[in-house]
Amino acid sequence: MKYRNRLLLALSVLSLGSCKKFLEEKPLTFLSPTNFYKTADDLTTAVYSIYAPLQTFYTGGGYANMNWAVWEMPSDQSYSNDGAGVIDNTNLDNYAWTADIAYFNAWWKNAYLIIARANTLIANVPRAVNVSDAIKNQALGEARFMRGVAYFELTMGYGDVPLMTETTTELYPKRAPSLDVYNFAIKDLQFAEQWLPATWPKSSDYGRATKYAAKAYLAKLYLKMAGFPIKDQSKFALAAASAKDVIDNGPYSLPANVMDNWNPTAAHKEQIFIVDRNRTVSNGSYFPLFWAPRGLPQLAASAGADFIGAFLPNQTFYDDFPANDPRKDSFFMTKATSYMDPTLTITLPQPTVKKYWGPLYNNGSDQDVVRVRLAEVLLIYAEAANEVTATPADAYTALNRVRSRAFGDATHNYTGLTQDQFRQAVWRERDLELCFEGVRWSDMVRTQTSRSGSITDYKNINNFSPAAKNFLFPVPTIDLQTNHSLTQNTGY
């Protein structure tokens, strides 16, 4: 996010720690919750700190720091191109999941760090006695948005999890039922949609949560609850309503070129919630590098660019992607032209992901990690509306908006489908449009399907299939050791 200038100050406050200066000099300044949460600026600084762990999911460098891979690598779209012998990658790829895989621990840890910082702010907002209620509620809205998203993703990944709030006093909290956690996240996101602005006035605030980001996450959460394992079909109507509000009233549109979503110089019309990061070596912004062709420095924009190349698209997925769909050339590449030497074009040994490919890897230009965009919300609406009433006209409209953007016209739009055919068409469109954006594995679990049939019918490139235990992540070992009230998920 572009509001990093207050981050160190915020972290110093929220650590709730203290220190002695050498020779016991009196510190010139000392921040603590009792003297910090006084002004509007204090609240904003505290809010910024809540976003910080979100960046940790994506910024770690090297093969052993792909925290976001928990949502990507198990899917039938991609696999680990691990030449460094990182056992976590191999085990994650092959469904040999254990509680010691670092990525599971990192996601759990940083999600609870977001929650802890949100809880601290929520508990201390009343200290800002000279701040208007509107500003207080806006700060609470951002905190509760981030807490709600963290709990949604924790529960989606791990099932029952400890439900920590600003009033929790248990030293060793037990796991709360996932339904209770989902309902808690719903209340947080509903509060956020009530109090957050539709947009932020300053470009420097781009990346902060908005009311429509809250509505989009509500739509995602309701859609998940309608599927496996809760299967509450009443949530389809709520998912459709939340998505439609974003579609009809949000300030978003589909740019003609879907790749604008990852172009640092393009106007970002479609993005609803993103992680805004600076792609520099010093900041450790490695996310795009994981998708780049490995070991081909001659393709870089400047000498010394670091191409990690840790992920490759599954060849079956590449072959299955329709050849006449223009997105195939946008999302994959089989050849790459050097940015240093435009006369040099290299044929790649296998298809590579193109969504995050660009010249500006190590020179400080920005590329957003897109977490929710309008195309996903359109497809949520299409799926949910079809489940409420078979193939309504506006569900076709939503689905075909994505199709029309992909093909440049309406010649490939859907019409005349049965309810099940429409359902399958939406699932297929999510598979194509949202590939490599960290949603495919959760879709496979939610729908219990893969392109091979059922989710357990899928076999990866090493001929391994997911088992029932893989529908949830294992609770990390370190948390089981430090909290004796925690239990492990079945099968681990």
**Domain spanning 7-76+100-276 has what CATH number?**
1.25.40.390
Q: How many CB atoms are closer than 10 A to CB 78?
A: 24
Among residues 81, 119, 71, the alpha carbon closest in space to that of 442 is found at 71
- 363-to-75, 303, 466 alpha-carbon distances in Å: 32, 11, 40
> Which stretch of 262-266, 392-396, 420-424 has the lowest confidence by average pLDDT?
262-266
Q: How many CB atoms are closer than 10 A to CB 43?
A: 25
Residue 7 banded pLDDT, cuts 50, 70, 90: very low
**How far, in Å, CA of 460 to CA of 412, rounded?**
30
Structure tokens at 372: 């929710």
Contact predicate 166/188, CB 8 Å: no
**How far, in Å, CA of 338 to CA of 409, rounded?**
32
Dihedrals φ, ψ of 162, to 5°? -60, 135
**How far, in Å, CA of 88 to CA of 104, rounded?**
10
Residue 34 banded pLDDT, cuts 50, 70, 90: low
Q: Give me the mean pLDDT over the 230-235 stretch.
A: 98
Among residues 209, 204, 212, the alpha carbon closest in space to that of 253 is found at 212
**How far, in Å, CA of 375 to CA of 74, rounded?**
23
- Residue by residue, DSSP assigns 148-169 as HHHHHHHHHHHSSEE---TT--
DSSP state of 366: B
170 three-class SS = coil
Structure tokens at 306: 């670091």
* Cis amide leading into 229 (omega within 30): yes
Contact predicate 95/467, CB 8 Å: yes
37 three-class SS = coil
Decide if pLDDT at 281 tops 50.
no
Decide if pLDDT at 26 tops 80.
no
Residue 196: the pLDDT is 98
C-alpha 197: how far from chain center: 21
- Residue by residue, DSSP assigns 120-144 as HHHHHGGG-TTS-HHHHHHHHHHHH
Dihedrals φ, ψ of 2, to 5°? -90, 20
Among residues 118, 117, 136, 165, the alpha carbon closest in space to that of 38 is found at 136
Q: Give me the mean pLDDT over the 377-389 stretch.
A: 98
Q: Give me the mean pLDDT over the 4-24 stretch.
A: 39
Q: How many CB atoms are closer than 10 A to CB 82?
A: 20
CA angle 187, 199, 369 (to 5 degrees): 80
**How far, in Å, CA of 447 to CA of 457, rounded?**
13
Q: Name every residue whose Cβ is closer than 8 Å to that of residue 139 and which is 6 or more positions away in sequence.
A: 43, 44, 46, 47, 121, 125
Alpha-helical regions (H) of 227-336: 235-249, 315-320, 327-331
Decide if pLDDT at 340 tops 90.
no
Residue 17: the pLDDT is 36
Residue 5: the pLDDT is 41
According to CATH, where is 1.25.40.390 located in the chain? Answer: 7-76+100-276
Contact predicate 296/305, CB 8 Å: no
Predicted confidence (pLDDT) per residue in 463-478, tens digit: 999 999 999 999 999 9
Residue 307: the pLDDT is 73
Residue 20: the pLDDT is 31
- Any idea which fold 380-464 has? 1.25.40
Among residues 460, 415, 420, 422, the alpha carbon closest in space to that of 440 is found at 460
The position carrying tokens 């807490």 is 147
Residue 366 banded pLDDT, cuts 50, 70, 90: low
Q: Which residue would you say has higher pLDDT here, 37 or 234? A: 234
Residue 363 banded pLDDT, cuts 50, 70, 90: very low
The position carrying tokens 């701040």 is 131
Residue 300 banded pLDDT, cuts 50, 70, 90: confident
Predicted confidence (pLDDT) per residue in 420-449, tens digit: 999 999 999 999 999 999 999 999 999 999
Contact predicate 254/247, CB 8 Å: no
Residue 308 banded pLDDT, cuts 50, 70, 90: confident
The position carrying tokens 């435009």 is 342
Predicted confidence (pLDDT) per residue in 132-177, tens digit: 999 999 999 999 999 999 999 999 999 999 999 999 999 999 999 9
Residue 83 banded pLDDT, cuts 50, 70, 90: low
User: How many Cα atoms sit within 13 Å of 433 on the Cβ side?
Assistant: 29
**How far, in Å, CA of 290 to CA of 47, rounded?**
30
Mean of all residue pLDDT scores within the chain = 89
Q: Which amino acid is at 354?
A: K
Largest Cα separation within the chain, whole Å, is 80
- 31-to-28, 41, 52, 171, 332 alpha-carbon distances in Å: 10, 14, 19, 25, 50
Contact predicate 259/268, CB 8 Å: no
Q: Name every residue whose Cβ is closer than 8 Å to that of residue 164 and which is 6 or more positions away in sequence.
A: 112, 115, 116, 119, 173
Residue 285 banded pLDDT, cuts 50, 70, 90: low
According to CATH, where is 1.25.40.900 located in the chain? Answer: 380-464
Q: What is the dihedral of CA 491, 310, 364, 145, to 10 degrees?
A: -20
Decide if pLDDT at 19 tops 70.
no
Q: Give me the mean pLDDT over the 301-306 stretch.
A: 71
Decide if pLDDT at 6 tops 60.
no
